[in-house]
Structure formats: C-alpha cells, structure tokens
C-alpha cells in the first residue's frame, strides 16, 4: 500500500450526490450547490453541512426548511455556476435558467430541472459542526427527465456520474427497508 496524503482522504468519502438546496427567506428564493449531504435513516432523515459563510445558511436557520434537489450529469456546468455564485446579489433561478416550482409542504421551491426534489424541514441544527438534520416531508421525481445519472463531486474540481448498476436485491433480502 502507498501512503495517501491525509488532506486528500475526504475525496474518497465525499462523493455523495451533488445537490441543489433551495431556500426561501424574506420573500426571496435561493439555491446553493452542496455535496456534503448524507442519509441518516430510512424515515427519511437527511443531513447537510454548511456554514454561516453561505448565503443560504441564514435562510435555513430562520425558515427551518429547504428542498434537496438531486442534480444530474447534464446539469454539471449549471451546478458549478450556481455553487460559485452568491445569492446575496443574484437571483440564481433567473441567471442560470432554472425553473422554481411550488412545493406542497414548505415555502422553498422545487427545481423543475432536477431529477428528484425532496421537501424538508429542519429537525435539528448541530451548531458546533454546522450540520442541519432534515426530515423529508414530500418527495417528487421527474420521470421524463432524460439524464438520470446522479452527479458526484470528488472534492478536487472533478465529478463522476453514476454508471453501471449492480443489482443485488435478492441477496440483500430482508435487510432492505419495506417499499424500496
């Protein structure tokens, strides 16, 4: 085995899906791109990590809600542009040609161009680490979306899209949650 530079170790764990988190605060919708998300259990409960440097942080704290938009590989450049632009001075929906759709349970909008949107409420905010624990309250899928390859950030400016699927449902048996 060859030693790996410790500061690069996160790149092997980070590749969760790239998400586009929408918020709504004081009448203004915003989007942030984030890859620091995780599933916490099957309820569905999720977590994301962001800090006060991010314009959406205050909206998450104040509104207590957001939408997790699952982005696909066809949106890679838009995802990058959204993530490198602040919503403080920019309407990211208008600037990047994204379509806000009304959510049914919360005020933050869905993103029409995303393959999946999950409406969430903040269940907890672990301030020491800026982790938001989210409870999914409604989910939407755009089955007509042509590209269904989920995009993953590698943490170094490169991305990977889902590829080959290894089907092992029978082997997993009763370890799968009901309904999946």
pLDDT digits (tens, 9 = 90+) for 66-116: 999 998 999 999 999 999 999 998 999 999 999 999 999 999 999 999 999
Q: What is the pTM of this model?
A: 0.91
Cis peptide before 44 (omega within 30 of 0): yes
Output 173 or 25, whichever has higher pLDDT: 25
In tens, the pLDDT along 121-150 reads 999 999 999 999 999 999 999 999 899 999
Nearest to 10 by CA among 156, 127, 146, 117: 156
In tens, the pLDDT along 3-13 reads 888 888 777 76
15: confidence class by pLDDT, cuts 50, 70, 90: low
- The pLDDT assigned to 105 comes to 97
Instruction: Work out the average pLDDT over 146-172.
Output: 87
- The pLDDT assigned to 59 comes to 95
Backbone angles phi, psi at 82, to 5 degrees: -60, -40
Phi-psi region of 120 (alpha: psi -120 to 50; beta: other; left: phi over 0): beta
Q: Domains, the chain, ranges and CATH? A: 17-175 (2.30.110.10)
- The pLDDT assigned to 165 comes to 80
- The pLDDT assigned to 18 comes to 92
Please report which helix (H) or strand (E) contains residue 163, including its range. none
């Amino acid at each position: 085995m060859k030693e790996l530079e410790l500061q690069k170790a996160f790149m092997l764990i980070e590749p969760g899906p790239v998400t586009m988190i929408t918020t709504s605060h004081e009448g203004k919708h915003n989007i942030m791109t984030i890859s620091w998300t995780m599933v916490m259990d099957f309820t569905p409960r999720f977590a994301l990590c962001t800090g006060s440097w991010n314009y959406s942080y205050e909206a998450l704290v104040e509104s207590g809600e957001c939408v997790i938009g699952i982005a696909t590989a066809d949106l890679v450049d838009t995802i990058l542009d959204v993530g490198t632009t602040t919503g403080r001075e920019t309407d990211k929906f208008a600037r990047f040609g994204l379509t806000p759709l009304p959510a049914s349970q919360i005020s933050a909008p869905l993103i029409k161009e995303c393959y999946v949107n999950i409406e969430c409420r903040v269940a907890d905010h672990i301030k020491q680490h800026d982790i938001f624990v989210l409870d999914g309250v409604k989910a939407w899928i755009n089955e007509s979306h042509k590209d269904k390859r989920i995009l993953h950030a590698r943490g170094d400016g490169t991305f990977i899209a889902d590829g080959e699927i290894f089907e092992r449902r029978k082997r997993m048996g009763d370890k799968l949650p009901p309904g999946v």
